[in-house]
Chains A and B, each alone.
Chain A
Amino acid sequence: MQGMSPIVKNITRLVAGFIVLFGAYIVLYGHVTPGGGFTGGVILAGGLALVVLAFGEAFARNVLTHEVAKVADSMGALLFLLVAVLGFAGGVFFTNFLPAGTLGHLVSAGTIPIANLGIGIKVGAGLFGAFLALAAFRRTTGAGQERADVLQSHS
């Protein structure tokens, strides 16, 4: 897959940063405004998927590889689990052991923002990885391969 036309590439250049930024915002402010780790993570994955679709396989191979996505996936999940296990510090599993803080501030609601961050990383990386594996530039093997390749060069 070579990527799309220059128009798409340029617009993506303009927009992608904002999408990723927006995703990060949704992740971080999930406890204050609508949104949260999952939503933000999906937005992150969507923004990255847009970049890959626009710029093609080479970009995904050199910058945002499958491997990076896998590592970030595990790390995000472990971060969330860590928040859960650290709950023992407050008494039992999953205790929200940090102070509640001021209502409506970024640093409030105890562990919720950290958990959101972990989930955001996890979901963003995981879905992006799945997207790469599924849709972007799958090298097929077996029966349907030739036909699939021919069709891919069309799109």
Chain B
Amino acid sequence: MAHLVPLLVAIPLAGGFLMPLVGRLTGRRRSAAALPILLAAGVLVLSVWLLLAADEPLTYWVGGWDFPVGISLVADGLSRLMAVVVATISLVALLFSIDYMARFTSPGLYYGLFLLMVAGMNGVVLSGDLFNMFVFIEVAGIASYALVAFGTESDELEASFKYLVLGTVASAFLLVGIALVYNVTGHLNWAKVGEAIQTAGGAPLPLQVAAAFFLMGFGLKAAMVPFHAWLPDAHPSAPAPISAMLSGVLIKASGVYALARFVFSVFDGDPALGWILVVLGVLSMVIGALMATGQDDFKRLLAYSSISQVGYVVLALGAAAVMRARGVSPTVVGLAVFGGLFHLANHAVFKALLFLCSGSVEYATGTRQLKDLGGIGTRMPVTGACLRVAALSISGVPPLNGFWSKLFIIVALVLGEMYVLAAVTAVVSFLTLMYYAKVQRYVLGGEPSERVTRAREAPLGMCAASVLLAVLCFGSSLMAVPAVRRRVLAPATEAVTAGVQAGRQGRTITVERDKAAPTDSRAAAVEPLRGGSPRPPRAAESLADGTAGAETRRAEPLARRAALDVGEAP
């Protein structure tokens, strides 16, 4: 059960390594998608199982190093929720890719990059180590740079270049932040860093500087205004399923999730950081929405809307941190976090759906200009219906999921006595409704142009993927139902609101070293710590006699083999 945690990374990784080889066998046939879809489905099943089966957070020490010298994987409620979101959207995007990507060459490379991006995101959301998180952010990031440019047209290459350059700047900032954190605390494990900060009674100045670097780095990855310059180019340029992945999950996994972890689990919901999140969130919300209103390009509009919607999540998290510090009742804090995370999951669903629909429309008509798309709903009934569901959902029309999450955020803000923020949120919701009404008017109503009358409904795979997500738009409203909520979102909320405590909860999985050692088992588990301890356990003694201390030991049976090997060597 606990071993599922590394498998969530290892499975897509293996698939990614294999795909360039498999792609050579399948050529450009659609069967190239079979292996990735199988693996993504497997990952989805595993992550859902992980979400539903275990109640307590798991800390999994990779390589069995329980002493915090190793890298830990942390699967608490938040990580599990993110893993499920990533797996869901990636499976649907892969289904969509079967037909959509038939127009592109080299499916082997495409699916390889796709799976590696998924592996990178799973790595990010499961990592318990700052540097490890950085490495997997890079995996996901580099895969996405390449995928944005996958069509190799000049605007795609330019968008990818811009994205890559800003992504690299973000990485450099993160690395500087990590260097400062390591210098000051001596740890890379975020739970330990959080503990050190708490012991010192708040972050000292060098760590505040580090926090600034982290904020800039993650802010760039999450495309918060004013770090958003790359997103409106990169997201529309990518192939539609990749746009869905980027907007739906990537900016959340390597941006918002990382920010939440960092602000809550490392800095214990520092109110100053909370205010910064609030400001970034409000700026993103308002500016994203205003920019989206003026767009004529369908996918660009969606990209700006992503900035705006992610702003909601960041605002909710920041407000929660502020309220927590102000001593507002934990229920309200929990409600704010709950609303934010709920909106995060919902946005993944409806934004992915919107991008997939835009992909279907572009596939059928060859254009992304809203003005040329009039009447497409009648020519493409399935896509049109899905588009309508998604647009209503993102505008917050009940009973679709977007309504509930926005409602929770606004209610939490009101209960937390942050009336101005609540008003801003409501106004931005109205703006969202406005520009999606525009989308609906152009795309679904109006006189069909010549281009549109020639359009036919998208192929089966693409429709199926869209319908799946449209169903999820209704289905994920269920997460507001108390029974489901307790199971799915409450542990995630708990993981955030617990702050630094989150790193200390739950079960630890590592190798029981030296099982044969006759001393008490707890001491054996601590074995790596006991460098200067007076006497090793007995099993080690016999070894030491035989080989003059010439080797280090591992678990007992292996140590015996080592003794044999070494016995012959000298």
Q: Does A85 contact B (CB under 8 A)?
A: yes
Whether the pair A85, B510 counts as a contact (CB closer than 8 A) is no
Q: Among the listed B61, B509, B510, B562, which residue makes an inter-chain contact with A100, where contact means beta carbons less than 8 Å apart?
A: B562
Q: Does B536 contact A (CB under 8 A)?
A: no
Distance A96 CA – B21 CA, assembled complex (angstroms): 28
Whether the pair A71, B511 counts as a contact (CB closer than 8 A) is no
Chain A min CB distance to B63 (Å) = 4
Whether the pair A99, B559 counts as a contact (CB closer than 8 A) is yes
Segment among B12-20, B359-367, B412-420, B516-524 that sits at the interface with chain A: B12-20
Q: Among the listed A85, A96, A103, which residue makes an inter-chain contact with B550, where contact means beta carbons less than 8 Å apart?
A: A103
A: interface residue count bin: 20 to 34
Q: Does A25 contact B (CB under 8 A)?
A: no
Whether the pair B17, A74 counts as a contact (CB closer than 8 A) is yes
Whether the pair A102, B566 counts as a contact (CB closer than 8 A) is yes
Q: Mark A85-102, 1 if CB is under 8 A from B, else 0.
A: 101101111111111111
Residues 52-98 of A at the B interface (beta carbon under 8 Å): 67, 70-71, 73-74, 77-78, 81, 84-85, 87-88, 90-98
Q: Does B60 contact A (CB under 8 A)?
A: yes
Complex interface: chain B residues within 8 A of A95 (CB): 63-64, 511
Q: Does A110 contact B (CB under 8 A)?
A: yes
Report the nearest A residue to B552, measured CB to CB.
A100
Q: Mark B553-570, 1 if CB is under 8 A from A, else 0.
A: 111001101100110011
Whether the pair A93, B10 counts as a contact (CB closer than 8 A) is yes
Whether the pair A81, B558 counts as a contact (CB closer than 8 A) is no
Whether the pair B6, A93 counts as a contact (CB closer than 8 A) is yes
Whether the pair B18, A99 counts as a contact (CB closer than 8 A) is no
Q: Does A105 contact B (CB under 8 A)?
A: yes
Q: Mark B62-86, 1 if CB is under 8 A from A, else 0.
A: 1110000000000000000000000
Q: Does B3 contact A (CB under 8 A)?
A: yes
Distance A105 CA – B565 CA, assembled complex (angstroms): 12
Chain A min CB distance to B65 (Å) = 9
Q: Among the listed B10, B511, B561, which residue makes an inter-chain contact with A81, where contact means beta carbons less than 8 Å apart?
A: B10
* Given A71-B21, A99-B561, A101-B565: A90 and B62 interface contact (C-beta under 8 Å): no
Q: Does B155 contact A (CB under 8 A)?
A: no
Given contacts A74-B21, A92-B3, 13 further A-B contacts (CB under 8 A): A67-B24, A74-B20, A78-B17, A81-B13, A84-B10, A92-B509, A95-B64, A96-B554, A97-B554, A99-B562, A100-B553, A100-B562, A102-B569
29 pairs, CB–CB < 8 Å, chain A vs chain B: A70-B20, A70-B24, A74-B20, A77-B17, A78-B14, A81-B10, A87-B63, A90-B558, A91-B510, A91-B511, A92-B6, A92-B62, A93-B6, A93-B7, A93-B60, A94-B64, A95-B64, A96-B63, A97-B554, A97-B555, A99-B554, A99-B559, A99-B561, A99-B565, A100-B552, A101-B551, A101-B565, A102-B570, A108-B551
